[in-house]
Amino acid sequence: MFCGECGSSRTATVESRKRQDPRPNDTTIIARLPRPTGVISVQVPAVVPAPEPADVVADAVTAADAVTAADAVTAAEQPAEHPAEPAVVLPSRATFVLSFSTGQRVSVHGSGLIGRKPLPQPDEIFDDLIRVADADRSVSKTHLEFGQYDDEFWVSDRVSGNGTVIRRPGEKAESLEPGRRYVLPRGTRVEIADHSFSVD
């Protein structure tokens, strides 16, 4: 229906009441590639025909003959009796005897700690933990560390409270610097606070 005065449509929707287009104004046109048409070829290995029963029997006989011949050649190349291989002998570490002033005598052949209650750190592993009976507690709980290098005995002070002194044969007394290793010949006397031990 149209207005008789102005001639405009009376059923037209007001512009403000129209729904907005949800699509963005700057729509990008994406060029779509055409779908591939055709067949993708894949190389198929040639099918080998199954051998006839007579061929299978012949091949089996030939293979058995080849295995027997190979075994005969291998047996001919090898000697009748294999000589026994020599056993691998690991070099043994030297044994040292520690004679303490308390009367203890301990044979050691590896590494260890000496003290009233020696306790290794979580990441440390030792062969021996030697406890020194000390009622006066002059010896630290973990006073001294020892070990071997090239069959030589060494000691290292573990930051003890009263320190460590060594007396090598024919030499003057020497105080140990904590954390440093000192190689000791046999016959050396090691003083740990009020106690001592000799390395034999």
Place of tokens 């069959």: 151
90-138 pLDDT per residue, tens: 555 789 999 999 999 999 999 999 999 999 999 999 999 999 999 999 9
Name the strands in the sheet holding 181-184, side by side, starting at the edge strand that comes first in the sequence. 128-131, 112-115, 144-149, 152-157, 181-184
| More confidently predicted of 138 and 44 | 138
46-67 pLDDT per residue, tens: 555 555 555 554 555 555 555 4
Q: Which of 153, 163, 162, 159 is nearest to 199 (CA)?
A: 153
Ranges 19-28, 67-76, 176-185, most confident: 176-185
CA distance 21 to 26: 12
| More confidently predicted of 15 and 157 | 157
Whether the predicted pLDDT of 27 surpasses 50: no
Whether the predicted pLDDT of 43 surpasses 70: no
- What per-residue confidence (pLDDT) applies to 4? 72
Whether the predicted pLDDT of 76 surpasses 70: no
Confidence of residue 5 (pLDDT cuts 50, 70, 90): confident
Average pLDDT across the chain, whole number? 77
Check: CB of residue 120 under 8 Å from CB of residue 136. Answer: no
The helices-and-strands tally (H runs, E runs) of the chain is 1, 11
Please give the domain boundaries of the chain with CATH numbers for all domains: 96-199 (2.60.200.20)
In this structure, the strands spanning 174-175 and 164-167 are antiparallel
Whether the predicted pLDDT of 28 surpasses 50: no
